[in-house]
Structure 1
Amino acid sequence: MGDSDTIDRELLLAVLDESQPATVPDLAASLDAHPMTVERHCERLQRSGEIRQCTGGAYTLSEGVRTDRTAAD
């Protein structure tokens, strides 16, 4: 597990886009980050309206949010 307290916003959104809905532990494993770090970033992204939390605590991209991956499609 990575020691860094920072996660690239675009990378988190891209991983979520690829595997949504995803839980914090799922995202943490994919990003090699601590679950608390991922949770803090998810809370920020949720407050900014970029992601939303579903039933069971899983996250998905909010409607209209595009990542670099979806923009290329």
Structure 2
Amino acid sequence: MNGSIIIPIAVLVIIFASVTTIVASYFKLQRHRADAAALAEYRGLAERVTAQQETMSAQLAELGDRVKAVEKLLQSVG
């Protein structure tokens, strides 16, 4: 009698553990997908910021050249 009760309980415990593992894995996968989407968004943002920094650097270099030209003009006049 005692052995006939243990087997169904063991089967139920195994089924419950399996369902719990599947549900936990599903939510972990969903969290991973959300993290991957956020990471892709941050990567795009970083690329845009890098492009803008390069543009600003080029503009600053051009401005520096213009300032040098104006200084040279002022020195030649003065």
- State TM-score, norm by structure 1: 0.23
- Which structure is higher in RCO with an 8 Å CA cutoff and minimum separation 6? 1
Bigger radius of gyration among the two:
2
